[in-house]
Amino acid sequence: MKFGKEYASQTVPEWREAYMNYNYLKTLVKDILVFRQRLNGSPKNQVTRKPLPLKRKVSLFRAFSGLTNSSPGKHKEDEVIVVNKMQQTDEENAVECPSYQTIFLRPSEEGGDIELVFFRRLDDELNKVVRFYKTKVEEVVEQAGELDKQMDALIAFRIKVNNRMEAIRESEVSEDHQEMRSEDDNEYRAASLEVLNRIKINATTETPRSTVRNVFNSLNSDLNYNKTELKKARGKLKHAFLELYEKLRFLKNYAFWNQLAFSKIMKKYDKITSRNASDAYLQMVEESYLSQSDEVAKLIERVESAFIKHFCNGDRDRGMNTLRAKSKREKHRVTFFVGCFFGCSLALIVAIITSLHARDLLKGAGQTRYMNTIFPLYSLFGFLVLHMVMYAGNVYFWTRYRVNYSFIFGFKQGKELGFKQILLLSSGLSVIILGGVLSNLEMELDPETQSYKTVTELLPLGLVTLVLLVAVCPFNILYRANRFFFLVCLWHCICAPLYMVTLPDFFLADQLTSQVQLLRNVGFYACYYGWGDFKKRDAVTCNESNIYYIISIVIAVVPYWIRVLQCLRRFFEGSDSTQAMNGLKYLSTIVAVVSRAVYTQTRGTPLRVIAASTSGIATVFSTYWDIVMDWGLLCKNSENPWLRDNLILPNRSVYFIAMVVNVILRLAWMQTVLDFHEAPFLHRNALIAIVASLEIIRRGLWNFFRLENEHLNNVGKFRAVKTVPLPFSYEDRDKDV
C-alpha cells in the first residue's frame, strides 16, 4: 500500500482537517517535477540557465535566523532553505504556540516560484499540526487533572460508604494511591473525608425516575452515601478513563503519522529536485512541540496505572485488555455463509413462484383469502429483511467514505456490526422466512397434513416467536451486545420522553416512522390469532371491525408521537431550539395520517380534500426538513452551489439525485394512501407492500446523508471521543482540593 493511502486510513476521521494535507503537498511536488522535466527537455532553457550568486543572500538570511543548525560539512552556497522559529498566540484557542517559517534561498532560479509555494504551504501545514496538537494536549492535561480530583472524591466516598474496618483498610490502600499528577509533585496527599464537604453529586435526568423527580420536585443533589451511588460514580469514572485513554491514543498516533508524513514529503522533494533540504526541515520538525512534548506519553502511563489499580484490582492484563480494545478481525466464514444464505434465498424464491404458478394456488377465491390473511403475516418479515439490507448498504458506504458511524451511534468499541454481519443476519432470516412460506404452501396442499390445519396456520406465529426469542436471548450468541443495544434504544423510544434523548434513540424512532406497515402487520397478528378464526383462514373479524380500525390508526400514529415527545424533551432541555419546529413537523404528519385513514373508511369529496391538503403540507414540510435540516443541503452561498461546503461523496450529482428521489418517493407514498392508484393486475395488499418497501428504501437513502451530515458536524468541532458526565462537582473550584 502506498504511503498516501495508508496515511489516510490511519487518520482519525473527526480530525481529518487537522492532519497534514499530504496529497496536496504531493501535487505541488509533482508540479515541480513536471516543470523540471519540461525545463530539461528544452535546449534553449538549458543554455540560458545561469548559476545565481547566493553568498550575500545566504549570509543575510542566516543572520536573520540564528536558529538554523546546518551540517558541519555543508557550505553556505549549498544550502537551500533557512528555517526560523517565532512565537505566536493562537487567538481562537488562547494558546501560546511557536510559528515556523522557512526561507527558500533559490527563488530566482527557474521554477523557484513553484518551490517557494511548496515551502509556504509546508510551513502552513506544520504550524497547523503543531497548533492543533498543542491545543489537544492542553485539553487532555486539563481533563486528567479533573479526573485526579474526581478520584480523590471517589476514594473518600468509598471510605464513607464502608464500615469502620473497611474504611481503615481502604485508607491504607489509598496511601499507595498514585494519581495523574506531574512527576515534580512527589508529595501525595491522601484522599481525605473533608473533600466530601465540598462536593456534590451531579444529578442527570437520564432515567424515568430522575425525570419525574425533576418535574414534580427538585432533584436532590446532596450526597447519599450508599453502595448504589458509589457504583454509579465508579461506573462514570471508569467510562471517563476509557474515553481519556482513547483520546491519548489518538494524539499519540496523530503525532507519529504527521511526523512520518513530513519526512516522506521532504524526501520526495529532495529526490525530485536533487537538493538536500530535508535535513534542515526535519530537524525543525524534530525540535517542534510535536516531537519534543512527552506529556501524552506520561499521561498514557499514568492513566494505565490508575485504571489498573482502581478499576481492575491491580490485574494488568485485564486492565490493558479493557483499555486497548482489540480490533475486529474479518472472518471468512461470515462471507461464506452470506453467499450460501443468499443463494438459498434465491432458490427458495424460485421454488415458491414455481409452486404458485404450477398449481394455480392464487386464482379465484383462494387468492383473495390468501392475500388478506397469509400475505400480511409473511410480508412483515419482508419489510424487516429489506430494512436490514438497506442498513447493511448504509454501513458499507459509511465505512468506505470514513463516516465514523460507530462513534456517532455510541457502539461499544469493537462490537459494532459491519455490513457483512448485517447481511449474514438478514440473509439467514430470509432463508428461515422463505422456508416457512414454502412449507406453509406444501402443508396446505399435502392431503396427509390437511388434518393439521391448525399447525399450518400457526407457522407464521411460530416464526415471529422465534425471532423475538432470538432478539431477547441472554446468551452470548448472535451479536448479543448489538441486540441489547437495539433493545435499550427501543425501550427508550417506548418510554419517551422519560429518558434523555440521544442520537441512537431518535434515529431508531425515525426508522419506526418508515415501518408503519410493519407495525400494522404486528397489530394484524394480534387480531388474527386473538380475535379472528385463524383455523379457517378467516380475517373478516379484523378487516370489518371498527375497534381494529381504530387500533390500526393508533398504531400508525405511535412512531410519529414518539418523535414528537423526543423533540419536546430535547427542546425543553435546551439542547436544540429547532426541535420545536421538528415536533410540529411530526404533528403535521399525525394529522395527515389520521385524515387519510378517516377518508379511506368513509370517503367523500370534503374528506378527500382535507386528506390531500394535510398530506401535501406534511409532505412539503418533511421534505424540506429532510434536505435542509437533516442533510444540510440547499445552501445557496456554499462552495458547492445548493449543497454544503463539505461533501464526502466525490460526485456532487449524487446529492441532487438523492434529493429528487426523496421527493418522488414521498409523493408516491402520499398518492398511494390517497387512492390515486388503481392496479387491476395487483392485489391491494401487494401494492401497499410495494409502496411500503419504497418508503423503506427512501429511509435507507435518508440514513446515509443524515449520518454524513452528523459526521461532518463532529469533524467541524473535532469531536473524536464522547463527552462523559462526571459524578462529582466541586462547589468551589478556585480552592485547591
* pLDDT of res. 162: 72
pLDDT in tens, 608-623: 888 889 989 999 999 9
Q: Is the pLDDT score of 178 beyond 70?
A: no
Distance from C-alpha of 386 to C-alpha of 379, rounded to nearest angstrom: 10
Cβ-Cβ contacts under 8 Å for 413 (sequence gap 6 or more): 246, 325, 406
Q: Is the pLDDT score of 205 beyond 70?
A: no
In DSSP notation, 510-575 reads HHHHT-HHHHHHHHHHHHHHHTSBGGGTB-HHHHT-HHHHHHHHHHHHHHHHHHHHHHHHHHHHTS
User: Helix/strand/coil (H, E, C) string of 139-150?
Assistant: HHHHHHHHHHHH
Mean of the pLDDT values across residues 540-558? 86
CA-based diameter of the chain, in Å?
108
Report how far Cα 578 is from the mean position of its chain's Cα atoms: 21
Cβ-Cβ contacts under 8 Å for 573 (sequence gap 6 or more): 205, 500
Confidence of residue 731 (pLDDT cuts 50, 70, 90): low
Distance from C-alpha of 701 to C-alpha of 708, rounded to nearest angstrom: 11
Cα angle, residue 435 at apex, residues 430 and 436 outer, rounded to 5°: 100
pLDDT in tens, 396-408: 999 999 999 999 9
Least confident span in 209-218, 547-556, 678-687, 717-726? 209-218
Confidence of residue 61 (pLDDT cuts 50, 70, 90): very low
pLDDT in tens, 505-538: 999 999 999 999 999 999 999 888 887 667 777 6
pLDDT in tens, 419-459: 999 999 999 999 999 999 998 888 776 666 666 677 788 89
- How many percent of the chain have pLDDT more than 90? 45
Distance from C-alpha of 374 to C-alpha of 396, rounded to nearest angstrom: 34
Burial readout 690-716 (b: 16 or more C-beta within 10 A, e: otherwise): ebbbbbbbbbbbbbbbbbbbbbbebbe
The dihedrals phi and psi of 586, each to the nearest 5 degrees, come to: -70, -30
Q: Is the pLDDT score of 677 beyond 80?
A: no
Distance from C-alpha of 221 to C-alpha of 201, rounded to nearest angstrom: 6
Q: Is the pLDDT score of 63 beyond 50?
A: no
Residue 537 falls in which region: left (phi positive, over 0), alpha (psi -120 to 50) or beta: left
Confidence of residue 91 (pLDDT cuts 50, 70, 90): low
Confidence of residue 548 (pLDDT cuts 50, 70, 90): confident
Q: Is the pLDDT score of 54 beyond 70?
A: no
* pLDDT of res. 37: 84
Distance from C-alpha of 261 to C-alpha of 629, rounded to nearest angstrom: 37
Q: Is the pLDDT score of 361 beyond 90?
A: no
* pLDDT of res. 362: 61
Distance from C-alpha of 351 to C-alpha of 220, rounded to nearest angstrom: 65
Residue 402 falls in which region: left (phi positive, over 0), alpha (psi -120 to 50) or beta: left
